[in-house]
Amino acid sequence: MTATADVRHHGGPSDPDESREGALARITPAVTLDAVGLVRTGEIEDLGSILSRDMPRGGGDEVFAPFQVLRHRTTGDINHAGEDWGGTTFSTELVMGTPHVGTHIDAFSHCQLDGAIYGGATAREAEGDFGWRSRAIHEMRPIVTRGVLVDVAGHRGVERLADHEEIGLDEVRDVLGAAGVDIRLGDAVLIRTGKMREYGDPAAFVAGQPGLGVDAAIWLHDRGMAALGADNTSVEPQPVPDWHRNLHVEMLVRRGVPLMEWLDLEGLHRRGATTFLFTCLPLKIRGATGSWVRPIATF
């Protein structure tokens, strides 16, 4: 199968400018400059979760290895040369875990359809012995754009949506309409289900997920969305309602929309926020399919 045929089969980039960066190409310097104009007070909301040994572990240790600090050392233990450091010591640690637990962003290589990733390359072509050679997280640009909160739980007046519940297109339109917000080219759209309220109870947090439906996600993309995130483990509901038409494929593979998961949106809810300057900086981990991130909203 040629790359061209594969792109056609899976959707591929609809705009030549999006052929490499996906929908993030929509975040032009003008879009970023416009978003910076939203800042009035300089106040910041931290949208990241704490990485720790006792955090939720995701969908099984075989695939989503838990985060842990494996070892803590000080220079006093390893100063074999016996140099006089004047009482100065340094501490280090070794950490391990998949970047798909905790607040993170998915690279395009995280998901494949029939063995192919966004842009048409097959895993055989793009994956090496030590990670992905293309569409990996080290290629993803920093995200600085307008953020839009779609506070579904807040709109309903509930603490959180029920596990497995799918958020439909009509409700997304209703929430945006009530907030008086239109989706613009280059927006990062964040969906609040209230699920993050269970983050302190790992078993409950991973037991099941409410999430965004495919039709709603496609509509947001078609309106101009550049990136999509949510306060659950997968953006879409878990278990996935229909693997033959799922959100990860429609966003990551077909449209090049990066997904941000495990976002802490409770502070935005308490503020009654709707739009803000959104910043998300993926780490340049060569070959990786995702990255831990610490996104912020600035007001």
| Domain containing residue 109: CATH number | 3.50.30.50
Residue 27, domain member (yes or no): yes
In a domain, residue 57? The reply is: no
Q: Which of 97, 118, 152 is the last residue of a domain?
A: 97
| Residue 121 burial (CB count, 10 A) | 22
Give the pLDDT confidence of 188-209 residue by residue, as tens digits.
Answer: 999 999 999 999 999 999 999 9
In a domain, 36, yes or no: yes
pTM of the model: 0.89
Q: d(Cα 196, Cα 242) in Å, to the nearest integer?
A: 24
> How many Å from the N-terminal Cα to the C-terminal Cα in the chain?
48
| Pair 156, 197 in one domain | yes
Is 138 found in the same domain as 72? Answer: no
What sign for the dihedral angle of Cα 197, 199, 201, 205? positive
Instruction: Kindly state whether residues 88 and 111 are assigned to the same domain.
Output: no
β pairing state of 91-96 and 104-106: unpaired
Contact status, residue 268 vs residue 150, Cβ threshold 8 Å: no
pLDDT tens readout for residues 124-152:
788 877 788 789 999 999 999 999 999 99
218 in a structural domain: yes
Q: Are residues 186 and 269 in the same domain?
A: yes
Cα separation, 259 vs 108, in Å, equals 9
Residues 133 and 222 in one domain: yes
Residues 109 and 92 in one domain: no
Domain count, the chain: 2
For residue 59, being part of any structural domain is answered with no
Task: Calculate the average pLDDT of the chain.
Answer: 88
| Same-domain pairing of 122 and 150 | yes
Least confidently predicted of 32-46, 83-97, 185-199, 212-226? 83-97
Q: Are residues 89 and 172 in the same domain?
A: no
CA distance 123 to 114: 10
Q: Residue 72's CB: how many other CB atoms inside 10 A?
A: 10
86 & 206 share domain: no
Please indicate, yes or no, whether residues 87 and 108 belong to a single structural domain of this protein.
no
- The answer to whether residue 58 is domain-embedded is no
Residue 56 covered by a domain: no
pLDDT band at 76 (very low <50, low <70, confident <90, very high): low
Q: What is the CA radius of gyration of the chain?
A: 20
Residue numbers of the domain that contains 226: 3-50+99-298
206 and 255 co-located in one domain? yes
Does one domain contain both 139 and 168? yes
